[in-house]
A and B are shown apart, each in its own frame.
Chain A
Amino acid sequence: NAGVMQNPRHLVRRRGQEARLRCSPMKGHSHVYWYRQLPEEGLKFMVYLQKENIIDESGMPKERFSAEFPKEGPSILRIQQVVRGDSAAYFCASSPRASLRTYNEQFFGPGTRLTVL
């Protein structure tokens, strides 16, 4: 069973361009989470998605950032008109289900390191 896949592993964009980060969850997992790690910081939650639904986007910047998890295909984190402050590592995690009563482990992908020139 392959782990969580993220691509690309490294992405370089110039200011004003768009960045698309992809995440394929583990087989059988229908819940996806995106986190951002700024240099010298811990991971910060951005968004939680189930298939075709955004469940919690409280950590997403209000502008330029969007996320989707379509019925078919990977989850996409999209950053429009990137700025230097968007340079960070973006991690995706997946879990098989979510419950407020029990914890279901989030399995992390290797991350995508975005560099904005």
Chain B
Amino acid sequence: AQTVTQSQPEMSVQEAETVTLSCTYDTSESDYYLFWYKQPPSRQMILVIRQEAYKQQNATENRFSVNFQKAAKSFSLKISDSQLGDAAMYFCAAGAGSYQLTFGKGTKLSVIP
């Protein structure tokens, strides 16, 4: 079983600046995966980035990168060069195997022009 905590209900960032969204988790599994999903107003769930727990190297996807601190059970998302289209709800999630993803409550990101 996993628990995922996002302590920032809302965040804002100036366009072109960098913002970091926080996430902490707890799990009894030794082999697990962590994810950040984006949910724009359309409500479609879009996978932004994923991290395998056995990999020490932090995942990156273009302007998105994570800071994975396994011992601290921390998994933050950094968005560089923020764009207006990045405005959305962001959910941190944890999973083991291929089912039962556990989501945090989300962080609403606003991008200020």
Contacts and interface: CB of A to CB of B under 8 A. Distances in A.
B22 to A, nearest CB: 15
Contacts, number: 74
A69 interface: no
Contact of A111 (B4, B44, B102): B44
Interface stretch (A13-21, A70-78, A98-106): A98-106
A40 B105 contact: yes
Nearest to B104: A42
A110 B43 contact: yes
B102 A45 contact: yes
B101 interface: yes
B42 A106 contact: no
Interface residues of A, number: 32
B44 A98 contact: no
A63 interface: no
B98 A97 contact: yes
Interface in A77-116: 89, 91, 93, 95, 97-106, 108, 110-111, 113
A108 B45 contact: yes
Contact of B97 (A45, A91, A100): A100
A43 B105 CA distance: 8
Contacts of B91: 42-43
Contact of B100 (A56, A89, A108, A111): A56
Interface in B71-113: 91, 93, 95-106
B92 to A, nearest CB: 8
A95 B96 CA distance: 14
Tell me which of A31, A59, A95, A103 has the highest count of chain B C-beta atoms within 10 A of its own C-beta: A103
B44 A108 contact: yes
A104 B95 CA distance: 10
Contacts of B103: 35, 42-44
12 contacts: A31-B98, A33-B100, A42-B106, A43-B91, A45-B99, A48-B99, A93-B45, A95-B98, A98-B98, A103-B97, A110-B44, A111-B44
- Please list the 7 inter-chain residue pairs (A to B) with the smallest Cβ-Cβ separation, ordered nearest first: A42-B103, A98-B98, A108-B45, A48-B99, A100-B97, A104-B98, A103-B33
